[in-house]
Structure 1
Amino acid sequence: MKKILAISGSTKTSSTNGLYISAISQLLGKDFEVYIFPTIAVVPHFNPDLDLADPPNIVYDLRKTIQEADGIIISTPEYAMGLPGSLKNLLDWTVSSASFSGKPVFALVASTQGEKAYQSIIDILTVLEANISSKLISFAKAKINPDAEIIDQETLTGLKSTVKAFVAAVENG
């Protein structure tokens, strides 16, 4: 069974990003074990001094979980025309570990705009040497209901296509 780590870029308890992660988990099916990172809100501020000496346990666990995953899903909002600071912070903690290196990543921007966050996450994942491509990126215009059901056919069709490309990348990874 392939292991997938899902990270919500939102600190909001009941966010659209969490709903998209649930919807994607359902689309992946039973051949994938999806572990949802509890919350990015608990990750301490990145500090290079701590990174070199002895990173906090949550950071150690995060890196290990990323390394053990066969693929990563990141669903994020766009805040102030960019990535949320908490998500950027989490990603900063992974730079020195190379834990994203070669990992297939499905990055989804669940936002009514999203273009700036999209470019930002592509740039960051490129630096982290993740296995990304335009086929693994999807804009979601928040067309999902509270039961994690995609209510817009165009969004569902696009999401299914992106999930299919992600599955192929994970299986070939």
Structure 2
Amino acid sequence: MKKIFAISGSTKSISTNGLYIAAISQVLGKDFEVTLFPSIANIPHFNPDLDLEDPPKVIYDLRKTIQEADGIIISTPEYAMGLPGSLKNLLDWTVSNASLSGKPVLAIVASTQGEKAYRSIIDILTVLEAKISAQLIPFAKAKINKEAEITDLETLTKLKSTIHAFVAAL
């Protein structure tokens, strides 16, 4: 069974991005164990002075889980024409140990526009040397219900294609 580690770029406890992760988990099926990171809100501000042999426990656990995963899913909104600061902060903590280097990452940006956050996450993951499968999902078309079912056929088709590329990279 392949291990997938999922991160929501939203700090909301119940968010559309969490629903997208649940929908992706359903598409992946029973051959994949998807573990959702509890909350990016609990990550301390990146500080190189703390990034030593003994980082904060939440950072140690984050890095270990990333390293043990076969692949990573990130679903994020766009805030103020960019990537949410809390998600960028989490990604900053992965730089020094290169935990995302060579790791397959499915990056989803779900937003009414999203182009700026999409470009930003692609740029960051490229610098981190991740193997990227990515999808920009405009909310105007992408209807998702509370049962994490994507009701727009075009969005679902594009997402399945992106998931297929991600699975192939595993």
TM-score range, shorter chain: over 0.9
SS in 1 for 2:51: helix
Residue 2 of structure 1, CA deviation? 0.6
Residue 140 of structure 1, CA deviation? 1.4
Separation in structure 1 between the aligned mates of residue 157 and residue 26 of structure 2, nearest angstrom: 14
- Residue 166 of structure 1 corresponds to 166
- State the Cα deviation string for residues 2-22 of structure 1 (Å, max 9, x = none): 100000000011110000000
- Residue 103 of structure 2 corresponds to 103
Residue 42 of structure 1, CA deviation? 0.4
- State the Cα deviation string for residues 114-135 of structure 1 (Å, max 9, x = none): 1000110011101111011xxx
SS in 1 for 2:87: helix
Separation in structure 1 between the aligned mates of residue 24 and residue 18 of structure 2, nearest angstrom: 10
- State the Cα deviation string for residues 30-54 of structure 1 (Å, max 9, x = none): 1111000010000001000000252
- Residue 136 of structure 2 corresponds to 139
RMSD value, Cα: 0.8
Map 1:17-96; keep pairs closer than 5 Å.
Answer: 17-96=17-96
Separation in structure 1 between the aligned mates of residue 126 and residue 165 of structure 2, nearest angstrom: 18
Residue 146 of structure 1, CA deviation? 1.5
Identity, % of aligned positions = 79
- Residue 11 of structure 1 corresponds to 11
- State the Cα deviation string for residues 50-84 of structure 1 (Å, max 9, x = none): 00252100000000000000000000000001000
Separation in structure 2 between the aligned mates of residue 43 and residue 168 of structure 1, nearest angstrom: 31
* Unmatched segments (≥5 aa) in structure 1: none
Structure 2-normalised TM-score? 0.96
1:163 maps to a residue whose letter is I
SS in 2 for 1:51: coil
Separation in structure 2 between the aligned mates of residue 144 and residue 29 of structure 1, nearest angstrom: 18
SS in 2 for 1:137: strand
Report how many aligned residue pairs link the two structures: 167
Q: When you count helix as a share of all residues, which structure comes out higher?
A: 1
1:91 maps to a residue whose letter is L
Residue 26 of structure 1, CA deviation? 0.4
2:6 maps to a residue whose letter is A
* Unmatched segments (≥5 aa) in structure 2: none
1:27 maps to a residue whose letter is V
> Which one is further off, 40-49 or 51-60?
51-60
